[in-house]
A and B are shown apart, each in its own frame.
Chain A
Amino acid sequence: MNKETAVIRVRDLVKKFGKFTANDKLCFDVYEGEIFGFLGANGAGKTTALRILCGLSLPTSGEISVAGLDLYSNRERIKKRIGYMSQKFSLYEDLKVYENIRLYAGIYGLSRKEIKQRTDELLETLELEAVRNKRIAELPLGWRQKLAFSVAIIHRPRIVFLDEPTGGVDPITRRQFWDMIYQASRDGITVFVTTHYMDEAEYCDRVCIMEAGRIDAIGTPTELMEEYKAENMDEVFIRIAR
């Protein structure tokens, strides 16, 4: 992790929907190569903030830069520099494994040669060569999620956003998935991740906990556990949210 470089810089981010304030003056930085956990109860405003950082929605006010670019004037360029994966949707179920990879790599503008080379690399690393021609619908959930993550970083983005990537995944695969997250972080990719598993919050370099549109706590898991005199992140979370 490189604390010198902030790849996400958020100052006084406000997002209103009518009278409702979903994000209320959020301020935080995310550093290069960091694994940044973004936690909060349902309805706390996580998804709203995540959509803004991905360039999918405009804030009401605030200064935001993502991957070195000002959000207001560069939303399309930002999209090229980030990757995104969610639990709900990532891959096309009716397409084959290699077709999904080709589709995403193509969208991100990789050349044919690069696509072929990275597809082969990716399938070899994941040990999925045997299912290259299978449709996504035929793969177990755990395999799909690992594949979806690899596809989300196929264009070597500076930041990858993961929205509850491990929901419902079996405990072994969940851990293999985190190995992949660590590897990506070591390769310099910043990982911005939301999760409801509090043990996963402890795998993050820093976590930020949202509550009712505001940031209630931010720091390393160790700092937060000390501050809230808690044994683990589950206790920290409960103390903040209650």
Chain B
Amino acid sequence: MNKISVDIQNISKSYKDVKALKDISLQINQGELFGLIGPDGAGKTSLIRILTTLLIPDSGIATVEGYDVVKDYKEIRKITGYMAGRFSLYQDLTVEENMNFYATVFGTTIEENYDLVKDIYSHIEPFKKRRAGKLSGGMKQKLALSCALIHRPDILILDEPTTGVDAVSRKEFWEMLMRLKDHSITILVSTPYMDEAELCDRVALIQDGIILSVDTPGNITGNYEGKLLAVRAEDLYQLKKDLAGYEHTLSVYLFGQNLHLTMMEKNSEKDLRSYLKTKGHGELRIDQINPNIEDCFLDLMAGKERNP
């Protein structure tokens, strides 16, 4: 039986008329790399701010390592490493000064926990006399992560650490997170990038303050109902229009150079092919494919719109 690190029970939060979180329940196990996946405005930051004791929920109960997020906020702050969405370091302090500051606040030193941050901090250590404000985006990110880890937290909470970061830096950042798992730290990370879901142990897909699904990435894609086709042709834009107008189409979405198509049952690819031939599409290709997380997210979103 897994030990629970974060337990969220029926949490709701509103800002005036806007319901940011609607009766959310969720458990995160110790040592798990857990992803909170959803677009801007889904409620990711509200939930993270509640768990980091920076925001009080309207209703519901949440605990982190057994501590209540409202009553025991002081305890939670000691055991949590938090990296906020926006760059949270002191721009006018040097790299080393930032590290020392965070270490001192938590009553520790860089030396004491060097082994934990070494893998990440060693990349920026050559620049330790440089002001944080003068670092490149990727280096700022590494410094922020090092600072969040310097007191050896039980749980690391990262709010959109990769937003606006290029594809290569994103990959590097995730490689660092994966290696941190060896230190058995629980990691909660939020992201709007669907492809990052596949790097997590488990994920919650969140949209409009509601959790659409919680599971391992493999189970989420495995539970996708229906058959998914990748369709491509010379003129993708026209193809999309024609597929949207096809009577058997359930959904059609752009995915890179392909369209991902689902159709109502009992319709063969043969019919589809001849329909598209009559529309004059050249270089037509139709393949059955396995869905990815984004396909599932789109499907769950569309399902919610059909039966709200």
Contact = CB atoms under 8 A, between A and B. Distances in A.
Interface stretch (B88-96, B215-223, B293-301): B293-301
A141 B256 contact: no
Contact of B137 (A43, A178, A241): A43
Interface residues of A, number: 37
Contact of B39 (A171, A182, A202): A171
A168 B169 contact: no
B169 A171 contact: no
B282 interface: no
Contacts of A232: 256
Contacts of B41: 140-141
A60 interface: no
A203 B255 CA distance: 9
B41 to A, nearest CB: 5
Contacts of A173: 39
B44 to A, nearest CB: 10
Given A171-B297, A199-B255, A203-B256, A141 B39 contact: yes
Contact of A196 (B166, B237, B240): B166
Nearest to A168: B40
A43 B136 contact: yes
A175 B297 CA distance: 13
B294 A238 contact: no
Interface in B25-74: 38-42
Contacts of A43: 136-137
Contacts of B254: 175, 178, 199, 203
A199 B256 contact: yes
B207 A42 contact: no
B166 A241 contact: yes
A168 B170 CA distance: 15
A196 B164 contact: yes
B87 to A, nearest CB: 13
B302 to A, nearest CB: 8
A10 B266 CA distance: 54
A40 interface: yes
A99 B163 CA distance: 30
Contacts of B302: 172
A105 B240 CA distance: 32
A170 B255 CA distance: 14
A40 B194 CA distance: 20
A198 interface: yes
Interface in A136-166: 140-142, 164
Contact of A172 (B165, B257, B301): B301
Contacts of B166: 40-42, 44, 196, 237, 241
B301 A42 contact: no
Contacts of B163: 167-168
Contacts of B192: 167-169
Interface string B129-140: 000000011100
Contacts of A186: 237
A186 B138 CA distance: 38
Interface in B226-249: 236-237, 240
Contacts of A179: 240
Contacts of A241: 166-168
Given A199-B255, A203-B254, A238 B167 contact: yes
A187 to B, nearest CB: 13
Interface string B183-216: 0000000001110000000000001000000000
A42 B167 contact: no
A234 B192 CA distance: 17
B257 A42 contact: no
A172 B256 CA distance: 14
B137 A170 contact: no
A198 B193 CA distance: 11
A171 B137 contact: no
A182 B237 contact: yes
B138 A42 contact: yes
Given A196-B165, A238-B171, A42 B136 contact: yes
Most buried by A among B138, B192, B193, B301: B192
Given A169-B40, A171-B294, A202-B256, A42 B171 contact: no
A189 B179 CA distance: 47
Nearest to B136: A43
Interface of A: 40-44, 87, 140-142, 164, 167-173, 175, 178-179, 182, 186, 196-199, 202-203, 221-222, 232-234, 237-238, 241-242
18 contacts: A42-B136, A43-B136, A140-B41, A167-B164, A168-B39, A168-B40, A168-B192, A169-B39, A171-B194, A172-B298, A179-B240, A197-B193, A199-B254, A202-B256, A202-B257, A233-B256, A234-B167, A238-B168
Given A199-B255, A237-B166, 5 more contacts: A41-B169, A141-B40, A167-B164, A178-B254, A199-B256
